[in-house]
């Protein structure tokens, strides 16, 4: 008999893989933000909405960071400013 699939763990592994792929891409000094942005903009609008929610969740986590240094200070401080615009949190409607 086949073991039941662990859908949550599969989804978690996809998330970890996506983060590694994005990290690898931005680690390439020749990466072009415009290409990534245009690819995102070509996705289905519902998927764009969900991607925005993921990006907001990242911003929210950076905003909470207590320890940072010169390498990511701009990120942390800007994220705190951005989150001040979202007092209700980072949940985005799914339509």
Structure confidence by residue, pLDDT tens digits, 21-62: 999 999 998 899 999 999 999 999 999 999 999 999 999 999
pLDDT of residue 2: 72
**With 70 as the cut, is the pLDDT of residue 1 above it?**
no
Q: Which pair of tokens denotes residue 14?
A: 């996809």
Structure confidence by residue, pLDDT tens digits, 78-94: 999 999 999 888 888 88
What is the percent of the chain with per-residue pLDDT over 70, rounded to a whole number? 99
pLDDT of residue 6: 84
Domains in the chain: boundaries = 7-83
């Amino acid at each position: 008999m086949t073991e039941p699939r662990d859908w949550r763990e599969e989804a978690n592994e996809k998330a970890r893989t996506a983060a590694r792929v994005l990290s690898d891409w931005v680690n390439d000094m020749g990466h072009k933000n415009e290409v990534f942005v245009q690819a995102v903009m070509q996705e289905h609008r519902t998927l764009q909405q969900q991607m925005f929610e993921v990006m907001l969740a990242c911003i929210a986590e950076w905003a909470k960071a207590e320890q940072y240094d010169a390498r990511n200070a701009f990120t942390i401080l800007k994220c705190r400013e951005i989150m001040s615009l979202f007092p209700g949190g980072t949940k985005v409607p799914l339509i």
